[in-house]
Structure formats: C-alpha cells, structure tokens
Amino acid sequence: MLCRLAARRCGDLRLRGAVHCRAISSIADRSLTNLADAGLGARVLFATDEWFATADNLLQPHAPHFDSETFCTQGKVMDGWESRRRRLPGHDWALLRLGLAGSVKRVEIDTAHFTGNQTPAVRVLAACIDAEEGEASRGGGELPETAWLGPPRADLGQRGSCASADEIARARAAVEAKAEWCELVPESRLRAGYVPPELASRRVTHLLVDALPDGGIARMRAWGTVARDFATELDAAAVGSLDLLSALNGARALGCSNRHYGEPSNLLRPGRGERMDHGWETARNPNRPAVLRQDPSSGLVDMPGASEWCVFRLAAVAGGIERLEIDTAHFRGNYPESCLVEVCDAPHAEVQDLLEGAGEWRPLLDELDSSAGRATHARVSIFPDGGIMRVRAFGRAVAPMPE
C-alpha cells in the first residue's frame, strides 16, 4: 500500500474525510479530449507551405498569442499556420497525426488574430492508419511511426520554407493511396475568428487539413474520445498497473465546481507542467470562514462548506487502485490546505447526475490495496480552494468503460 504525496508536493497538502458535491451546470464538450494536442503526441507529418508561420502551431495546447510589435524576415510573426499568398494552381494543406486514436466529435478551426489573412475556407478529411506488421510503435499507447509518406521534408517546421512541387505531388499521392479518407468537415467558409463545429463518430488517427486556397489558421482542435483496446494494446502482466487517470489512456474530466484559472482536464496530462496555468486552479472560495480555526479532532482547518471539486471518468474499469499521486508542482502560496480523493462504481451513470453527487462515493485512501473494489469514476476535492498540477491513480484495468 503506497500513497505518494510528499515527493510531489509544494506545501503541506493533507488528506480529509468525505465531502459531497454541490450541483453545477455542465457543458458536454468540456468532457472531450483534444486528440490533436501536441502535448498528447500529435504532430505535423507534412505541410505544403510554412512561409509566415509553421503548421506545428496548430497543435499547441495554449491559446494563440499576438504581439503587434514582433516581426521577422518573412513579415509579421503569427501564432498559427500561415502560408504565403498563393500564385500557382492548387491549394495548401497539412497532414496531421493525432496524438491518440479516437472518435472525433467536434472539430474546431480557430483563426484568432488572423483578421485579414485568415484562410477563406477549409476542408478536413480523416482516416484510420494503424501500424502495419513490421512498423515500429512508439509505445505508451501513442500512434506508430510510419514510413509510407516517404522522406520527410528537410525544412518541415521552419518559418520561411515550403515544399517543392515534386514533394507535394509525391506526398499527396501517398496520402490518397494509403487510406480511405472520409470528409469530416466539408468545405466551409471561414470568417476571422470563426469556429465551426462538426460531428463524426468513426475511429481516426490522421487528419488532412485543406486550406482553400491559402492563408492563416491559429489552432486546429479535434475534440473527441480516446479509443483504446487494453486487451490488444497492453500486456497487463508486462506493464503492471496502469495510470487510470491519464489522458493518454483515455481518462476524461467530466466537470468541476470552479475553473477560474485552469481546466481540470490539465490534471490528466502527461508530465508535470511548466507553470501554474498548466494545472487546475480555482478562484478563492467565498465560503471560507472570516477567521480560520483548527479542528482539534483532525488537526485540519475547520472549513464547513468550503471546498472545490472535479469529477473524472477513469480510462478503464479499475479492479483496484494501488497507488495515488497528487502533484502540486509550481503552486507556491496557492496550493490547497488539504484534499480528498473518492471513487465510485457507476459505469452507466449520467454525467450530470455524477456532478450533482449521485453515486456511492468512498474515500480512496482508506482502501489503497490491490483487493479494493471496482471503480469507474474519481472525484478530487480540495479544501478550501487553490491549485494542483497532476493527479495519478495507478491500478488494474479489468474491463473497458462502456460507451
């Protein structure tokens, strides 16, 4: 039995007894994962033209930035992908490999700060290109490296670069021959700052973004659900317990009481973050007592009704949680006084019901061993408020989560 807290904390984070959620209104899209997130392994495989700004910016998790005073040899520095003004037949396009395979429910095309040089229209195609026999996999559930596209552009990802006509022709032929592409987003006219949503359900691994005919796009986000097959992708005997609160394995944030300074989905990301806004931080809780007093029975500050919480869907049905990790890296002076982690077994519960407190929640730290009961969801409560960077829950995956 092991609970790893001390090695990961920046302050005296302590553990509490049970607490109940209070109701909030939920937004369904907040429970989706951006499969086209560079932090989850997404990358650009090919781009026809990166003259003003490189295509890898499309995949950055942070919001687009604009500095009116920053210029370079090519012109204005933009945080996005921007090609030169096309004077030849054709259109610009980029091939993206998703960080994680999954079903894309909503596509977001963000043209923030492109207020006269945005792409007039886009089209997004999708395909499922899995590893073939003999192809190397990067492991960890990430998608495989592939050689089918041919030699990579030597200057891919460099501002002021573009592919030759021969490179473009070879790459497009390889793309069209490799897989059957479905039209995820048909040709759609854009405006400055326009974000068109589209729905899809099939499992995909790659996206082909057509910029029609050229111009700038700030971000490309593919919101969906991760598709993992633990029976075929992982050898439980070889890897031991899994992090069931990792976005890489398919865990999702369903909702929270407060997201003033950061999204709870950040808690599921890989790594430890680089600054406070890479974690989940709430506003100061207005229900705190005017004068704080210690509870003599627990040694903790007595703060009835003063807490914030977030609810997560585990990556798989857990047969037991063996190790818990709470990381408050980068939170100095604004970490919680204490925290509580609870789990419940409610595979078919509605999201809104869970956010309103439904389910038989039990404190996790009372049963950190391999024989503990099943769990499908976790709830993290912090007292009275503050920020945490990551939460990990390692355990045995015994069944896939229901759709």
The secondary element (H helix, E strand) that includes residue 239 is helix 236-239
Count the Cβ atoms, other than its own, within 10 Å of residue 36: 27
Residue 99 CA to residue 132 CA, distance in Å, equals 18
Predicted local confidence at residue 21, as pLDDT? 34
pLDDT tens by residue, 198-243? 556 678 899 999 999 999 999 999 988 898 776 666 554 545 678 9
Helix (H, G, I), strand (E, B) or coil at 38: helix
Question: What are the domain boundaries of the chain?
Answer: 2-24+257-399, 33-226
CATH of segment(s) 33-226: 2.60.120.260
Tokens (6 digits) for 387: 């920020």
Residue 277 CA to residue 262 CA, distance in Å, equals 6
Q: Name the CATH architecture for the domain at 2-24+257-399.
A: Sandwich (2.60)
Residue 169 CA to residue 154 CA, distance in Å, equals 16
Predicted local confidence at residue 298, as pLDDT? 83
pTM for this predicted structure = 0.79
Cis bond leading into 384, ω under 30°? yes
What is 99-149 written as a DSSP string? EEEEEEEEEEEE-TT-SSSB-SEEEEEEE--PPPTT----STTPPPP--TT
Common-topology check for domains 2-24+257-399 and 33-226: yes
Q: Which of 310, 316, 324, 199 is nearest to 254 (CA)?
A: 310
Predicted local confidence at residue 370, as pLDDT? 40
Tokens (6 digits) for 237: 């005997």
Burial of 314 (0-12, 13-18, 19+ CB in 10 A): buried
Predicted local confidence at residue 210, as pLDDT? 94
Whole-Å CA distances, 402 to 98, 138, 213, 238, 314: 23, 27, 42, 25, 11
User: Which amino acid appears at position 290 of this protein?
Assistant: A
Residue 259 CA to residue 24 CA, distance in Å, equals 12
- In this structure, are residues 112 and 193 in contact, taking their beta carbons and an 8 Å threshold? yes
Residue 102 CA to residue 230 CA, distance in Å, equals 14
Predicted local confidence at residue 326, as pLDDT? 93
For residue 221, list its beta bridge partners: 108
Report residues of the chain scoring pLDDT below 50.
1-12, 16-28, 133-142, 195, 236, 238, 367-371
Residue 233 CA to residue 279 CA, distance in Å, equals 29
Strands 75-76 and 203-212: unpaired
